[in-house]
Structures are given as structure tokens and as C-alpha cells.
């Protein structure tokens, strides 16, 4: 048995592929194919993408820019990524809608919960761009907020590692992976899953999170099966 409605969170950096900056067309085409396979199973798919491959607000602050300005620039970067993924999906005949938290009617619908849900019910992929529309909030928080609003069954956080570990597996060879972990254990052990605002929002609304490796072909389709052993499930 699989989830009925999911929210897939992708990092902007994931879209770079092997590049140092911007969007790797091959990588985004692979992601589009993986998403199409899930849509064809009847699962309703919503997506939030970060913008770190183009611009990160926090880096602007470090360079002396005012935080609010930097964060809005970061939101626009997420819209560029969202448009790129939309184009890749539509190129393989997956119907999509892009909704943004900042109004830009020439290229996207404004975020309206009822319209988003209706699109999902009709089998369209809905991509949410521009974060929450507010500075000081990450795209992780935007993903958590939108997932709660559309009543998703789970957040799937696609990363370049295959789950949550006791330590950073890229730095510590002795790090071991959790198959499942509770929200309370994440707090107690200081594990890195999402920023605390996003994570707490999921906890308060009883929304499970699965962290998995999006770059392994077939993983997305496997992880939507509730009995899947892919990634790490954060549960209650």
C-alpha cells in the first residue's frame, strides 16, 4: 500500500548535478522521469524546491546585504528552479501547475490551497515556489507548511544521502544509519533532518518525514510504498 498524497522536498543544490552552479539539464530530466513514474501509480505529488544552486539569502547576509532583501532574492531563485522542473515534466507529458507565494501572474498561479488540492485530485503535479513568501523562513519550512495545508500523508526529503545517520556519513566512516527514528529522538540527539521551525511544524501536525537518496534511480517510486526500507522514517 502506498501513500495517497506526498510532498517531495528537493534541494536546489541537487539540481546542479556535477556542475558548480545553476541547473544540470540531465539531472532535472532524470528527476522528472522519476516523478512521472510515481504520478502514473496514482499518487498525488506536490513539490517544493530550494534555490541554493542559484542564490542563498544567508550568503548574501554574510556579504553585507540586508537579510530581508537576500531572502526575497532566494525566493526568486526557487521560482527559477520550479519553472525548470515544470518544463522538464511537461516535456514528458506530465501535467503540472506552478503556484507561488509571491504573486507573479504572468508565469504562475498564486498559492490558493483549494486550487492546489483540486489540481492534485485531477492528477496534476503541483509545484510550490517562492518559499512561504516571507523572509526568515527556509524552503524546508515552506515544504512543511504546504504539506500541512494540503493534508499530505508524508514529506519525502530527497537528498544525496540515503537517510539519517548518527553522524555525517561523508565525514565519519563509523556513522550508522537509522531505519526509523522518532521526533523526540531527533530533538534529544540533535540529529540533522530539517531546520527546527520546519521540523517542529511537522511534529505538531503529526506529519511523518522520510529522508532518502533521490539520486539513486527508482528510489522515489520505492519510497512511496509504506513498507519500503528506503531511507529513514521519522515517526511518532
Extents of the domains making up the chain: 5-235
Check: CB of residue 36 under 8 Å from CB of residue 94. Answer: yes
The pLDDT value recorded for residue 173 is: 84
Q: C-alpha cell of 211?
A: 529522508
The pLDDT value recorded for residue 57 is: 72
Check: CB of residue 152 under 8 Å from CB of residue 201. Answer: no
Which runs of consecutive H residues, i.e. helices, occur in the chain? 25-39, 57-62, 67-91, 113-121, 139-149, 183-189, 196-204, 219-223
Q: How far apart are CA 92 and CA 160, in angstroms?
A: 24
The pLDDT value recorded for residue 1 is: 65
The pLDDT value recorded for residue 64 is: 85
Q: C-alpha cell of 20?
A: 558548480
**Cβ neighbours of residue 185 closer than 8 Å, sequence gap 6 or more:** 191
| CATH fold label, 5-235 | Carbamate kinase (3.40.1160)
Check: CB of residue 115 under 8 Å from CB of residue 109. Answer: yes
The pLDDT value recorded for residue 186 is: 93
Cα separation values, 150 from 40, 115, 183, Å: 20, 10, 21
Q: How far apart are CA 149 and CA 75, in angstroms?
A: 19
The pLDDT value recorded for residue 227 is: 64
Give, for all 236 residues of the chain, the pLDDT tens digit: 689 999 999 999 889 888 888 999 999 999 999 999 999 999 999 999 999 999 877 777 788 889 999 999 999 999 999 999 999 999 999 999 999 999 999 999 999 999 999 999 999 999 999 999 999 999 999 999 999 999 999 999 998 888 999 888 878 888 899 999 999 999 999 898 899 999 999 999 999 999 999 999 999 999 998 767 889 999 98
Q: C-alpha cell of 107?
A: 508565469
Task: Name the pairing type of β-strands 232-235 and 209-213.
Answer: antiparallel
The pLDDT value recorded for residue 134 is: 96
The pLDDT value recorded for residue 108 is: 97
The pLDDT value recorded for residue 194 is: 93
Amino acid at each position: 500500500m502506498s501513500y495517497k498524497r506526498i510532498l517531495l522536498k528537493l534541494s536546489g543544490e541537487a539540481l546542479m548535478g556535477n556542475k558548480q552552479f545553476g541547473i544540470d539539464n540531465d539531472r532535472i530530466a532524470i528527476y522528472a522521469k522519476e516523478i512521472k513514474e510515481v504520478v502514473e501509480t496514482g499518487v498525488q505529488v506536490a513539490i517544493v524546491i530550494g534555490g541554493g544552486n542559484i542564490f542563498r539569502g544567508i550568503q548574501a547576509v554574510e556579504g553585507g546585504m540586508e537579510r530581508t532583501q537576500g531572502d526575497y532574492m532566494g525566493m526568486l531563485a526557487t521560482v527559477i528552479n520550479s519553472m525548470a522542473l515544470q518544463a522538464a515534466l511537461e516535456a514528458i507529458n506530465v501535467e503540472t501547475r506552478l503556484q507561488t507565494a509571491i504573486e507573479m501572474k504572468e508565469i504562475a498561479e498564486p498559492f490558493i490551497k483549494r486550487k492546489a488540492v483540486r489540481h492534485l485530485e485531477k492528477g496534476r503535479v503541483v509545484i510550490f515556489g517562492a518559499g512561504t513568501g516571507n523572509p526568515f523562513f527556509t524552503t524546508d519550512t515552506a515544504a512543511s507548511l504546504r504539506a500541512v495545508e494540503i493534508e499530505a500523508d508524508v514529506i519525502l526529503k530527497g537528498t544525496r544521502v540515503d537517510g539519517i545517520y548518527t553522524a555525517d556519513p561523508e565525514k565519519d566512516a563509523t556513522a550508522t544509519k537509522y531505519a526509523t527514528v522518532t521526533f523526540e529522538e531527533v530533538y534529544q540527539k540533535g540529529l540533522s533532518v530539517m531546520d527546527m521551525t520546519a521540523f517542529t511544524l511537522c511534529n505538531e501536525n503529526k506529519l511523518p518525514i522520510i529522508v532518502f537518496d533521490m539520486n539513486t534511480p527508482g528510489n522515489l517510486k520505492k519510497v512511496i510504498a509504506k513498507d519500503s526500507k528506503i531511507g529513514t522514517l521519522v515517526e511518532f
